[in-house]
Amino acid sequence: MQAPCGRPIRFAIADNPMARGQATDRTACDYCAATFQGLFRALVHPATAVTETACEAMGNPSCLFDIRWSDRFGPTDGRRPDRGSPSGA
């Protein structure tokens, strides 16, 4: 994937059930990241990538996720790539 456009959106999930009770040296919430990625690809932009950057299972206070977009796919004039009409129309 091409370099992402702009800064990522970052959000946190505190007391994440996916990480609760786990102790690991890598992020453990792939299911959450994949779910958010699928939703954002379907609803926002097909070139959305979601990655977990910190995890409670690693001892962090919350699970952090970054959402990034690439301008490699789809039109940049507001048209939805699957329909050719303006988003929201």
On average, the pLDDT of the chain sits at: 82
> Region 19-46: what's the mean pLDDT?
95
**Residues in the chain, how many?**
89
pLDDT reported for residue 15: 95
